[in-house]
Structure 1
Amino acid sequence: MLPTIPDVIKRLSVIVGNPKISLSEISSFISSDPALTSRILKMVNSAIFGFPGRISSVTHAVTLLGFNVIKGLLMGVTVLDLMQTAMVGLREHSVGCAIAARTIAEMKGMKNTEDASVGGLLHDLGKVILLLQFPQDYKLVLEATDQKGMLIFNAEKAHFSETHAAVGLWLAEKWKFPKNLTDVIAYHHKPQLAKNAPVDTAIVHLADILVRTMGFGYAGDAFVPAVSPASFEQLNLSEEEIREVLRNIESMRGMGDDPAW
């Protein structure tokens, strides 16, 4: 049974979860909604994806990005709206993670840096679902992070016996998300468990922590989790590369609060 979530998400889940849908059908779906068209083009042309001002049509965007990225992006721009009402600061945190993840992916010479961007946008999808489905319970979780000094991940585990990562995994599998995106959503706190996309997951894991370090947005607590030593070693970023990631995060400050997103 799907959580009680807005109809727009349910409609999008039909598109995202349909393995037989064509690129032209996705283009038509997006183009039929002027607001969605505007958001998709704004997102693709932003620094999050690295195509500033170069993509002027939905067809171009869909053709360039391909099935996996455009499906994730469809969900991403919609979930960003929900984040703003569900938890103040979560949208900005997610935008920061998207730009940090793309920056790291470029540094590591990843072929599809857009995958990392979408992973950064959607890594906290499970938080949105928990907030929408259990608003009062999640308020208690947030209070626990503040009053007891707990990481959000641990506070969720104590209250629900599950975490936003587990909820995100369940939803990603139910909606047939690409396996690399499912890995990122499920294991961004435990990147060593990722089987399908270990590098993408390590990238978003580190991006999440760097964004928290900057105090950029709000992810549910005021703390910075420990970095996975294996992931840090795997990515092997220099001090200057880390400083560049931090500078790029800072350059995005305020974007998550832009109502046009």
Structure 2
Amino acid sequence: MESNIHYVASGQFLVAAGRQPLILKALLGTCVGVSIYDTVAGIGGLLHILLPEPVSGASDTHPGKYASTGVPAFLKALIEKGAHPDNMRATVAGGALVGPVSEQDMALDIGGRTAEKVHELLKRYNIPVNASETGGFFTCTLELDLNTGKNRICPSGLLRDPEEAFHYTAPSADAIAASVTGLKPIPQVALKILRMVTSEEADFKTIAAEVRKDQVITAQTLRMCNAALYSGRNQVASIDDALILLGQDALIKSIISSSLKTFYRQSDSVYSLCKGGLFHHAMGTAIVADQLAAHTGAAHRATAYTAGLLHDIGMVVLDQHITSACPLFYRGMKKENHRILEVEKRILGVDHCEVGAKLGLKWAFPGNLIHAIRHHHSPEEGKDGDKLAYIVHAADIIMSRFQSGVFPESSKGSIADRLAVIGMGPADFEKFIDQLPMGVFSMQPETVLFKKT
């Protein structure tokens, strides 16, 4: 019988009794995964930890978010299911730095401290650790097969042996340009709404009127609202109903996001480490960028959200070309430890930031959005005084570390120095992570849009 796969989101754990065809799986970057299995009773589970311990003083609501509270709660749940501590065996993975970092960035090594806390607690509770692979610079997956009790730790996205002989012909500049032209575009109504929102003078009545003109966008927006928030309840049947239930801000974000979802579906192979990974990463980056803008005051919130949602649109173009060069891509990213922009340049002659900016020009995006797309990996190369690219860069780094839906995007230079530009120090960084809405690092970060704060 083929096993089903259940993804355990960050800040959560799942415990199951009895051997069954189910694989528990966690995608890990900076987060730490802990699987524990009772070899006699056949009871096991997986815990996906975000931080070593609470920073903001709110640990009661989500104990699984922290090592200090999550490990005891996880063990308690296992024992309540019938597992016995004497028969428990643990496997630990994750806690990566995700990409080379400078000496100044070592204060941001949250994953390393989380892994240390996990091992400290497992030792205190006398739970033997059969296998542990923590640290390093790359994302991984931790799997627990509840039918066999076996664990597996794998590098994320390693589909083919990067050592095998491989021949590849790079696409011409004309071929890349043709891909930009031939891509299924974002609907014109959605582009118009996007420009309205980023003008910082958005009038909701005008936006709603534009949405009502397009039946497809209306349907996509209502579908996202209903799927994310109202499962099992009365369905949201109109934009007016959605406005009453969600509020103006959440509805505008859902309109933009639902329009982009179809666009991102054109790419779901090399860059994504799981189904829908690129869109989920974009959604999470948008939400984190919005929260960073609110926290620091360094950018307009709606503009930061939109820039976060759009930052990787160039990957949708390049995905169709880089798919045929998978072994070269994985070799560059994993064995040779290059930045993603360097790997793209070497294979394709262009990177996703350049192509994304060209798409932005083609679709007449506002200049600040094009700038953020072009420089979200190297914000210091952009305009002086423009902090939007720094906001998107920080949000992208946070998502790459804590939600491993796409290949991690490391950058040159000090992350700590870039955070300082938007007024955030190492201590502020960890507290900010702690205060982010639960669900932003899940497989469906869009659900965060519909939760009242």
Picking from 140, 144, 147, the partner of 2:328 is 140
Picking from 423, 433, 436, the partner of 1:236 is 423
1:76-126 deviations in whole A, cap 9, x for unaligned?
A: 333343454562333333233222211210111256312111211221111
Letter in 2 for 1:132: Q
- 2:222 matched residue in structure 1: 38
1:119-145 deviations in whole A, cap 9, x for unaligned?
A: 112211111211035431366324421
Q: Please give the alpha-carbon distance, in whole angstroms, between the structure 2 residues aligned to 1:242 and 1:186.
A: 24
Q: Which moved more, 1:229-238 or 1:36-45?
A: 36-45
Structure 2 runs not aligned, ≥5 long = 1-176, 197-205, 230-235
Select the structure of larger CA radius of gyration.
Answer: 2
What's the CA shift for 1:240?
4.2
Q: Please give the alpha-carbon distance, in whole angstroms, between the structure 1 residues aligned to 2:368 and 2:228.
A: 20
Count of aligned pairs between the two proteins: 246
Task: Please give the secondary structure, in 1, of the residue aligned with 2:187.
Answer: helix
Q: Which moved more, 1:155-164 or 1:187-196?
A: 187-196
Asked if structure 1 preserves the Cα contact closer than 8 Å seen for 2:187 and 2:259, the reply is yes
- 1:217 matched residue in structure 2: 404
Q: Where do 1:244-255 residues align within 5 Å?
A: 244-247=431-434, 248=436, 251-255=439-443
- 1:103 matched residue in structure 2: 291
Letter in 1 for 2:212: S
Structure 1 residue 191 and structure 2 residue 367: aligned? no
Is the strand fraction higher in 1 or 2?
2
Name the TM-score, length of structure 1 as normaliser. Answer: 0.73
Asked if structure 2 preserves the Cα contact closer than 8 Å seen for 1:130 and 1:164, the reply is yes
Q: Which moved more, 1:229-238 or 1:181-190?
A: 229-238
Asked if structure 2 preserves the Cα contact closer than 8 Å seen for 1:165 and 1:185, the reply is yes
Picking from 195, 203, 210, the partner of 1:26 is 210
Letter in 2 for 1:180: N
Asked if structure 1 preserves the Cα contact closer than 8 Å seen for 2:356 and 2:373, the reply is yes
Is the helix fraction higher in 1 or 2?
1
Go from structure 1 to structure 2 and tell me whether the alpha carbon gap of 1:107 and 1:134 turns closer, same or farther (over 3 Å shift).
Answer: same
Task: Please give the secondary structure, in 2, of the residue aligned with 1:205.
Answer: helix
Asked if structure 1 preserves the Cα contact closer than 8 Å seen for 2:293 and 2:391, the reply is yes
Asked if structure 2 preserves the Cα contact closer than 8 Å seen for 1:191 and 1:205, the reply is yes
Task: Please give the secondary structure, in 2, of the residue aligned with 1:198.
Answer: coil
Picking from 105, 119, 122, the partner of 2:307 is 119
Q: Where do 1:133-212 residues align within 5 Å?
A: 133-137=321-325, 140-195=328-383, 198-212=386-400
Letter in 2 for 1:90: L
- 2:73 matched residue in structure 1: none
Q: Please give the alpha-carbon distance, in whole angstroms, between the structure 2 residues aligned to 1:11 and 1:79.
A: 6
Picking from 45, 57, 75, the partner of 2:240 is 57
- 2:265 matched residue in structure 1: 81
Asked if structure 1 preserves the Cα contact closer than 8 Å seen for 2:356 and 2:374, the reply is yes
Q: Please give the alpha-carbon distance, in whole angstroms, between the structure 2 residues aligned to 1:42 and 1:178.
A: 31
Asked if structure 2 preserves the Cα contact closer than 8 Å seen for 1:168 and 1:186, the reply is yes
Q: Please give the alpha-carbon distance, in whole angstroms, between the structure 1 residues aligned to 2:353 and 2:430.
A: 28
1:152-209 deviations in whole A, cap 9, x for unaligned?
A: 1110111122110000011111111122211111100111233398211111111112
Q: Please give the alpha-carbon distance, in whole angstroms, between the structure 2 residues aligned to 1:252 and 1:208.
A: 13
Asked if structure 1 preserves the Cα contact closer than 8 Å seen for 2:266 and 2:316, the reply is yes
Asked if structure 1 preserves the Cα contact closer than 8 Å seen for 2:211 and 2:217, the reply is no
What RMSD over aligned residues (CA atoms) do the two structures have, in Å? 4.2
Q: Please give the alpha-carbon distance, in whole angstroms, between the structure 2 residues aligned to 1:168 and 1:43.
A: 29
Asked if structure 2 preserves the Cα contact closer than 8 Å seen for 1:41 and 1:57, the reply is no
1:207-246 deviations in whole A, cap 9, x for unaligned?
A: 11222233x1243247575445653222121444312332
Go from structure 1 to structure 2 and tell me whether the alpha carbon gap of 1:220 and 1:74 turns closer, same or farther (over 3 Å shift).
Answer: same
Q: Which moved more, 1:144-153 or 1:162-171?
A: 144-153
Structure 1 runs not aligned, ≥5 long = 46-52
Q: Please give the alpha-carbon distance, in whole angstroms, between the structure 2 residues aligned to 1:72 and 1:140.
A: 35
Q: Please give the alpha-carbon distance, in whole angstroms, between the structure 1 residues aligned to 2:433 and 2:189.
A: 37
Picking from 170, 175, 185, the partner of 1:10 is 185
Q: Please give the alpha-carbon distance, in whole angstroms, between the structure 2 residues aligned to 1:110 and 1:42.
A: 33
Give the share of equivalent positions with the same residue, in percent.
Answer: 20
- 2:15 matched residue in structure 1: none
Letter in 1 for 2:185: K
